[in-house]
């Protein structure tokens, strides 16, 4: 069977993708699937998942510090004040993905979120976390979905509240990355490390 947990250099079993590069080993072991809370922290993940759309996650991961510098640490209040000069600066910034639609969506999303009450983004996103008992641990990567009913509902709720560039697949990637679901394989050392 392919896509099963595989041993890493230390002999511990991991999700296969988590061993493909050194950057992924660290991300897999220390971050992916761990609970993320806080409006700004979730805004960062939401933005990075949107920028990842159509690209490899490693491309985003390797530019994350550039994104953080370019987008004021993903502080919602700061990004909400970005103007046309900031937009032009971002379009010229080689440290990020210079996609006009994604940059515009990030700026628009910050402006929308700046109107929300503190903790509202965190509360809304986490309200879509499924009951862990309802989800069996995936045995192989083929058992990991790209979209779920919860991610479709989360995407719809965020769009209804004015956010852009957040479809059901992006919403599910956000749910995986931020620990709303645990999609580490059943035999992976990081399974349940929440």
Active site amino acids: 27, 49, 57
Q: Where are the alpha helices (DSSP H) in 114-167?
A: 120-126, 149-160
Number of neighbours of residue 95 by Cβ within 10 angstroms: 14
- Residues with Cβ within 8 Å of residue 116, at least 6 apart in sequence: 39, 161
- Residues with Cβ within 8 Å of residue 37, at least 6 apart in sequence: 122, 126
- Helix pair angle (100-113, 39-52), 10° resolution: 160
Q: Where are the beta strands (DSSP E) in the chain?
A: 6-7, 13-14
Integer Cα distance of 68 and 48 in angstroms = 10
């Amino acid at each position: 069977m392919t896509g099963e947990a595989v041993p890493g250099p230390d002999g511990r079993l991991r999700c296969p993708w988590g061993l493909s590069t050194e950057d992924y080993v660290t991300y897999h072991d220390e971050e992916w699937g761990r609970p993320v809370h806080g409006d700004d922290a979730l805004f960062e993940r939401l933005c990075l998942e949107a920028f990842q759309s159509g690209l490899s996650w490693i491309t985003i991961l390797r530019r994350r510090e550039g994104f953080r510098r370019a987008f004021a640490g993903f502080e919602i209040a700061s990004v909400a004040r970005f103007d046309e000069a900031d937009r032009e600066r971002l379009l010229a910034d080689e440290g990020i993905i210079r996609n006009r639609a994604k940059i515009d969506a990030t700026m628009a999303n910050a402006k929308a979120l700046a109107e929300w009450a503190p903790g509202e983004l965190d509360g809304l996103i986490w309200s879509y976390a499924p009951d862990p008992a309802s989800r069996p641990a995936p045995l192989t990567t083929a058992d990991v979905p790209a979209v779920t009913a919860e991610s479709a509902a989360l995407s719809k709720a965020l769009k209804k509240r004015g956010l852009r560039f957040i479809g059901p697949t992006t919403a599910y990637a956000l749910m995986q990355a931020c620990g709303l679901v645990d999609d580490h394989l059943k035999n992976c050392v990081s399974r349940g490390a929440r």
